[in-house]
Amino acid sequence: MIFRKIKVYTILVLLFSFALPAFAVEEYISDIYKKIDQIFIIQSEDQLNTLLSDNNEDSNYYLIENYTEKKIRRLIVNNEYDFAMTAIIIVIENNLDNEQAVEMYSVIADAYKVQQEHEAELEYQRQLELARIEKEKEKQRVNVEKEYVAAKNTNSGKSVYVTGKETKLTSYRWKVALGLADFVYLHDNSSNINSLHYGPSLSFNYEYMLESKTIIGAELFAGVQPIGMAEEKSLVPLIGDIDVKLKLSPSLIPNLFITTGFGVVLSQKDANQKKTNLIVGTMYTPIVGIKYERISLGNVKVDLGAEWYAGHLFYDNINFAMGAEANAQIPFADLDKVSLNFNIGLRDKVLVKASGLENRASLILAIGAENVIK
């Protein structure tokens, strides 16, 4: 009985003595795992290298490596490739025979490259957006400077805008159009003339805005049609017109102009013209009119105008004369300081004569340019 108890106690002591090293191994490995957890939280390259190099001769080093690689996989899942790349290199440097770590390095390197390209694209898009926002801010700043008075500068160097301007910053606007095709249909009912003529034209418009928001300006139009396209062209070999006008737009009605100036209605005089009732030679006339400009139809800007030719008062055979015009401006290119556009214009001159009605209707196709208003 006593022998049996001694035998049982001996077996228990032996089992306990063998278990102590196992428990001891698990305990220090657990402490190392905790240190690895902390290292990956703070992502310390030096501490990780020190821990692995201090333990790479340990018989349980493979457990430390496996746990480190597990933490690296967690970084990859979270797309934290920077420290994942650093950590796997440290693992390889401390055990060059770790083939699994080498394979993991290859996978991380490929994924890291893809992520860097993606981040570079995101950064490029971010910079484009910042540039767009900055450009919008600059436009707003220019508008603020136009509308408000900068009272002083702060210590930071920024302007302080304290009150709205009672007047608008002065500015100017110009535009020019070259009529590559100016087709004029000449009709005279008393002489039964229906003649089509063709030639070039040129127009120029300049405006200046005063601080009171009143706009003053000038217009020039010149067109000549030396080429006839009908049987009656021999009766009217050359026609044309020239208008020089001043314009005024009060601040109460923007873009509505009162125009006044001087015009010339050309009609070449030759031996055959006495057979017709067309105006003889050239008609000189003062002009008084009204014009509404820059009517917005989407991107298209439309101008409309009508004029009275007071010169008919000085001609016995002309009872009344007037003109009308319309132009559609279609932009097709915006440069830094100049905007290019295509123009489709209509112009008409009506002369009510003692002998009948003379009408000169024209269609103008022109290429134009104007300054960019900032």
| SS3 of residue 330 by DSSP | strand
Query: Kind of pairing, strands 356-371 and 215-225?
Result: unpaired
| SS3 of residue 184 by DSSP | strand
Angle subtended at Cα 305 by Cα 301 and Cα 308, rounded to the nearest 5 degrees? 170
Cα 228 → chain centroid: 45
Give pLDDT, residue 232. 60
Give pLDDT, residue 190. 76
Of 201, 196, 265, 200, the C-alpha closest to 236 is 196
Q: What is the pTM of this model?
A: 0.55
Give pLDDT, residue 222. 96
Of 76, 42, 39, 41, the C-alpha closest to 54 is 39
The answer to whether residues 304 and 292 touch, using CB atoms and an 8 Å cutoff, is: yes
How far is residue 67's CA from residue 34's CA, in Å, rounded to a whole number? Answer: 10
Give pLDDT, residue 100. 87
Residues composing the chain: 374
Of 223, 227, 216, 194, the C-alpha closest to 260 is 216
How far is residue 266's CA from residue 147's CA, in Å, rounded to a whole number? Answer: 47
How far is residue 23's CA from residue 189's CA, in Å, rounded to a whole number? Answer: 122
Give pLDDT, residue 262. 96
How far is residue 234's CA from residue 195's CA, in Å, rounded to a whole number? Answer: 10
Q: Which residues contact 285 (CB under 8 A, 6 or more apart)?
A: 262, 263, 264, 265, 309, 310, 311, 312, 321
How far is residue 141's CA from residue 144's CA, in Å, rounded to a whole number? Answer: 5
Give pLDDT, residue 9. 44
Q: What are phi and psi of 226, to 5 degrees?
A: -85, -10
Give pLDDT, residue 258. 96
Give pLDDT, residue 158. 57
Give pLDDT, residue 18. 41
Cα 303 → chain centroid: 25
The answer to whether residues 185 and 358 touch, using CB atoms and an 8 Å cutoff, is: no
Give pLDDT, residue 363. 96
End-to-end CA distance of the chain: 112
Stretches where the chain sits below pLDDT 70 are 1-25, 142-170, 230-237, 269-281, 374
Give pLDDT, residue 82. 85
